């Protein structure tokens, strides 16, 4: 795709106002401001206050390149390498799923479940960027948190986030529970792949650029969820809990799978859009 027609005429006169006006022909204005900050190193306050500040040639070139890539569909999070989650900035790359606000529900419920346990043992399956594991670790000092992913590249991102944000994690490369023999936890959380193969959403928006291995869960989207629910009891302490994020239309199926696996006190929780987004249960004591 060719670059947007952001004119070079009088390029030496390009200032913040003009850069945003030109980018606004192609992008949402909020996105344009984010990219300008990233391209120039300016703060949000500087972009808002110093509209007459001239861009350097390098800053202008960087900005135009980012605008062109965004117009081509690349996610903002991958372009700037960051995404906010649970009040913190997390490093992201095309090796990991982009953290989303609805996944914060998994953290909220996990914290509530662990509130009465002094030093909970927590396992995050398919940790990706580590946003859930890191958030749980930082919100519950003293928790023993293990983050698992089958992707070495994803684990590298999780480790960077843990180090940057000051969280203590044990990171394990594993295909779900395969490398965890002999370990048991008070809580297992997971945001596994749950989009069915061939779902048209995979060809839209940010999903086009995210790793398919973190998105696609078999013909009905439940392949990995079935594995996790079936195997989780062997890795839970008596009374331990399992929490899973799932698709908007999978609540009943996940409820039935949990029940069939012997989980009790099954709860299903709605996100801010009113969609049942997280389901979980407790292993009988």
Q: Using one digit for the tens of pLDDT, what is the confidence trace for 157-205?
A: 999 999 999 999 999 999 999 999 999 999 999 999 999 999 999 999 9
Taken in order 49, 53, 55, 59, the sign of the CA dihedral is negative
β-partners of residue 54 are 15
Q: Can you identify the CATH homologous superfamily of domain 82-283?
A: Vaccinia Virus protein VP39 (3.40.50.150)
Q: Tens digits of per-residue pLDDT, 236-264?
A: 999 999 999 999 999 999 999 999 999 99
Cα-trace Rg, the chain: 22
235 confidence band (pLDDT: 50, 70, 90)? very high
Give the residue-averaged pLDDT of 108-134: 97
What pLDDT is recorded for position 13? 63
Spatial distance between the Cα atoms of 194 and 191, rounded to a whole number of angstroms: 8
Gap between the Cα atoms of 216 and 12, Å rounded: 48
| Boundaries of every domain in the chain | 11-72, 82-283
Instruction: Let me know if 174 is exposed, middle or buried by CB neighbors in 10 A (0-12, 13-18, 19+).
Output: middle
Residue 138 above 60 pLDDT? yes
Q: What's the average model confidence in pLDDT over 69-95?
A: 96
Q: List, in order, residues 6 or more apart from 49 with CB less than 8 Å away.
A: none
Paired sense of beta strands 276-283 and 263-270, if any: antiparallel
Mean pLDDT across 106-119: 96
Instruction: Give the angle subtended at the CA of 139 by the CAs of 92 and 115, to the nearest 5°.
Output: 135
């Amino acid at each position: 795709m060719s670059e947007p027609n952001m004119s070079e005429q009088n390029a030496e006169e390009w200032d913040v106002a003009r850069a945003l006006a030109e980018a606004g022909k192609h992008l949402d204005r909020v996105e344009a401001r984010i990219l300008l900050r990233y391209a120039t190193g300016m703060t949000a306050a500087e972009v808002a206050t110093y509209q007459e500040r001239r861009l350097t040639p390098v800053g202008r070139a960087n900005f135009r390149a980012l605008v062109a890539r965004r117009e081509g569909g690349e996610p903002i999070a991958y372009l700037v390498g960051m995404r906010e989650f649970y009040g913190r900035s997390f490093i992201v790359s095309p090796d990991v799923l982009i953290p989303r606000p609805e996944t914060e529900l998994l953290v909220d419920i996990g914290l509530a479940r662990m509130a009465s346990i002094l030093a909970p043992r927590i396992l995050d399956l398919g940790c990706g960027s580590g946003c859930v594991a890191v958030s749980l670790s930082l919100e519950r000092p003293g928790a023993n948190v293990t983050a698992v992913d089958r992707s070495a590249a994803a684990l590298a991102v999780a480790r960077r986030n843990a180090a940057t944000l000051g969280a203590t994690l044990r990171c394990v490369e594993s295909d779900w529970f395969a490398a965890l023999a002999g370990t048991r936890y008070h809580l297992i959380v997971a945001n596994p792949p749950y989009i069915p193969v061939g779902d048209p959403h995979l060809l839209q928006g940010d999903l086009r650029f995210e790793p398919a291995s973190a998105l696609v869960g078999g013909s009905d989207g439940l392949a990995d969820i079935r594995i996790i629910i079936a195997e989780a009891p062997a890795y839970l302490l008596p009374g331990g809990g399992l929490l899973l994020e799932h698709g908007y239309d999978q609540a009943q199926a996940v409820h039935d799978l949990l029940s069939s696996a012997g989980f009790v006190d099954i709860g299903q929780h709605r996100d801010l859009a009113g969609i049942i987004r997280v389901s979980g249960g407790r292993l009988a004591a």
